[in-house]
C-alpha cells in the first residue's frame, strides 16, 4: 500500500510539472513581443553579415528539432512508456540545453534509478531557471534536488592549470577548469589530472552521501634534463727537459760526425761521377746503333719493329736511367755535405744531451717526441 501511495504522489507531481511547463511558454508568449522569424525566411537584420545567416538558420532548426523531441517525450511519458520518453528527452537535451528539458529528463532518470545523472540535470535546471518561471515548478525541482542530493556525493575540482583532463576512478569527466561540482556515487574516488608536459596530479577522496569534497590538483611541469657538460680537455703532457749526457762534449762539433758526413758526401760524389760516365757510354752505344740502322734501312728503319730496334730502345732507356741515378746521387751528396758543414759551424756551441723520447697527449691525438743531438 505504501509503495502504491508513493507512486501515486510521484505521478501527481509529474502531472503538475508537465502542466506548468506547458503553461509557461504560453504565458511568456502573451506578454512578449512577437518572436522574430527564423533566419533564412526573411532578409538578415541590419548589421548582420551574410555568414551569420546560415549559422542562425542551423541553430533555429536544431531548436525546432529539440522542441519536437521534447513534445514527443511528454506524450510518451503520458502513455506510460518511460524508456521511450527518456530517449526522446535525451535527444532533445543533445540538441538544446534548457531548464525545462533538464527537469523532465531528470524526472525520468529518477524513476529509472539514475541518481547521479538526475542530480546533474536538476542542478542545471535550478541554475538556469528563469526569474519569471512558475514558482510551483521551481519549488518542485528544488524538492527533487534536495531528495537526490541526500544519496549522492559531489566533488569540486580545482587545478593550477587549465586544459588538464580529469578522471574519476579512470573515467574521464572533463577538462579543467570546472565551473560546477561533479556528482558521484558515494565512496572512495581516485581523482587524477593529466596534461602534456606536466607530472600527473592524483588525490583519493572518501566522499560520503550528501556531502561535497574538494580535489586540489597541483600539476608540476616536467623538469628538462640539463645539457651534458662538454668533455674536459686532457692536460697537455710536455716532453721533459733533457739533462746533459754525462761525458758530453762541452764545446765544438763531434769529430766522428764530421768524418762520417764528409765520407758520405765524398762517396756520393764519386758514385755520381761513375754513373755519369756510364750514362755517357750508353748514349754513345745508342748513337752507333742508330747510325748503323739508318745506313742499312734508311730513316724509317724502326717503322717496323725488329730485334735491332728493340735493342736500341733498351740502350736508350738504360742511358736515361743512369743519368737519373747520377743526378740524385749528386743531390744526396750535396745535401749531406751541406748538413755536415752546418754542423761544423753551429753544432758545437752547447752541450749535447743524450737522446730522449717522451709521449705528447692532446685532445686531438698523441705523438712521440724524440730529442737529442748527434
Asked if pLDDT for residue 208 goes beyond 80, the answer is yes
Which cell numbers hold the place of 82? 518511460
Contacts by 243-252 with C-beta closer than 8 Å and gap 24+?
Answer: 243/353, 244/351, 244/352, 244/353, 245/351, 245/352, 245/353, 245/354, 248/351, 248/352, 248/353, 248/354, 249/348, 249/351, 249/352, 250/351, 251/348, 251/349, 252/348
Percent of the chain with pLDDT over 70: 69
Distance of CA 274 to the CA centre of its chain: 78
Q: Compute the average pLDDT of residues 21-29.
A: 40
Cα–Cα distance between 331 and 268 in angstroms, integer? Answer: 9
- pLDDT at residue number 130: 94
Q: Out of 46-50, 234-238, 323-327, pick the least confident.
A: 46-50
Cα–Cα distance between 221 and 224 in angstroms, integer? Answer: 9
DSSP, collapsed to helix, strand or coil, labels residue 261 as helix
Omega prior to 177 cis, within 30 of 0: yes
Asked if pLDDT for residue 41 goes beyond 60, the answer is no
- Give yes or no for a contact between 153 and 115, defined as CB atoms under 8 angstroms apart: no
- For domain 1-26+58-151, give the CATH superfamily: Tetratricopeptide repeat domain (1.25.40.10)
Q: Residue 357 belongs to what H/E stretch?
A: strand 356-362
Residues in the chain: 374
- pLDDT at residue number 26: 38
- pLDDT at residue number 212: 94
Q: Out of 123-132, 158-167, 275-284, 340-349, pick the least confident.
A: 340-349
Reported pTM: 0.48
Q: Which pLDDT band, with edges at 50, 70 and 90, does 238 fall under?
A: low
Cα–Cα distance between 234 and 212 in angstroms, integer? Answer: 65
Neighbours of 364 (CB within 10 A): 6
Q: Compute the average pLDDT of residues 98-115.
A: 95
pLDDT digits (tens, 9 = 90+) for 253-277: 777 777 877 787 788 778 878 888 8
Neighbours of 215 (CB within 10 A): 24
Cα–Cα distance between 239 and 371 in angstroms, integer? Answer: 9
- pLDDT at residue number 30: 33
What is the torsional sign of CA 104, 109, 115, 117?
negative
Helix intervals (H) in the chain: 2-31, 52-78, 82-95, 99-111, 115-128, 135-149, 255-297, 307-346
In Å, what is the CA distance from 9 to each residue of 112, 126, 222? 17, 22, 58
List the beta bridge partners of residue 370: 357
Asked if pLDDT for residue 205 goes beyond 90, the answer is yes
- pLDDT at residue number 142: 94
Q: Which pLDDT band, with edges at 50, 70 and 90, does 362 fall under?
A: very low
Q: Compute the average pLDDT of residues 332-343.
A: 76
Cα–Cα distance between 273 and 333 in angstroms, integer? Answer: 11
Q: Which pLDDT band, with edges at 50, 70 and 90, does 247 fall under?
A: very low
- Give yes or no for a contact between 86 and 78, defined as CB atoms under 8 angstroms apart: no
Domain range 152-222, CATH architecture: Sandwich (2.60)
DSSP, collapsed to helix, strand or coil, labels residue 181 as coil
**Between residues 97 and 339, which one has the greater pLDDT?**
97
Asked if pLDDT for residue 113 goes beyond 90, the answer is yes
- pLDDT at residue number 236: 65
Amino acid at each position: 500500500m505504501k509503495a502504491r501511495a508513493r507512486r501515486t504522489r510521484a505521478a501527481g507531481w509529474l502531472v503538475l510539472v508537465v502542466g506548468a511547463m506547458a503553461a509557461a511558454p504560453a504565458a511568456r508568449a502573451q506578454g512578449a513581443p512577437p518572436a522574430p522569424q527564423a533566419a533564412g525566411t526573411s532578409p538578415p537584420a541590419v548589421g548582420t553579415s551574410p555568414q551569420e545567416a546560415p549559422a542562425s538558420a542551423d541553430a533555429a532548426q536544431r531548436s525546432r528539432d529539440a522542441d519536437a523531441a521534447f513534445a514527443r517525450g511528454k506524450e510518451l511519458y503520458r502513455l506510460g512508456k518511460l524508456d521511450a520518453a527518456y530517449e526522446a528527452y535525451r535527444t532533445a537535451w543533445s540538441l538544446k540545453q534548457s531548464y525545462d528539458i533538464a527537469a523532465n529528463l531528470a524526472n525520468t532518470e529518477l524513476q529509472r534509478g539514475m541518481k547521479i545523472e538526475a542530480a546533474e540535470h536538476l542542478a542545471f535546471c535550478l541554475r538556469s531557471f528563469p526569474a519569471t518561471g512558475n514558482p510551483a515548478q521551481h519549488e518542485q525541482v528544488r524538492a527533487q534536488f534536495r531528495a537526490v542530493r541526500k544519496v549522492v556525493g559531489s566533488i569540486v575540482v580545482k587545478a593550477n592549470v587549465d586544459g588538464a583532463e580529469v578522471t574519476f576512478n579512470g573515467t574521464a569527466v572533463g577538462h579543467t577548469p570546472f565551473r560546477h561540482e561533479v556528482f558521484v556515487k558515494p565512496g572512495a574516488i581516485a581523482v587524477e589530472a593529466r596534461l602534456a608536459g606536466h607530472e600527473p596530479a592524483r588525490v583519493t577522496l572518501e566522499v560520503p552521501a550528501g556531502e561535497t569534497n574538494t580535489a586540489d590538483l597541483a600539476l608540476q611541469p616536467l623538469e628538462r634534463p640539463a645539457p651534458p657538460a662538454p668533455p674536459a680537455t686532457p692536460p697537455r703532457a710536455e716532453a721533459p727537459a733533457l739533462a746533459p749526457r754525462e761525458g758530453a762534449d762541452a764545446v765544438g762539433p763531434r769529430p766522428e760526425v764530421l768524418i762520417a758526413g764528409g765520407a758520405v758526401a765524398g762517396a756520393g760524389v764519386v758514385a755520381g761521377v761513375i754513373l755519369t760516365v756510364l750514362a755517357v757510354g750508353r748514349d754513345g752505344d745508342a748513337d752507333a746503333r742508330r747510325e748503323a740502322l739508318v745506313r742499312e734501312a734508311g730513316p724509317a728503319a724502326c717503322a717496323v719493329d725488329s730485334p735491332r730496334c728493340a735493342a736500341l730502345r733498351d740502350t736508350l732507356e738504360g742511358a736515361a736511367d743512369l743519368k737519373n741515378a747520377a743526378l740524385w746521387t749528386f743531390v744526396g751528396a750535396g745535401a749531406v755535405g751541406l748538413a755536415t758543414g752546418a754542423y761544423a759551424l753551429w753544432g758545437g756551441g752547447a752541450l749535447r744531451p743524450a737522446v730522449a723520447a717522451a709521449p705528447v697527449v692532446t685532445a686531438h691525438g698523441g705523438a712521440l717526441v724524440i730529442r737529442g743531438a748527434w
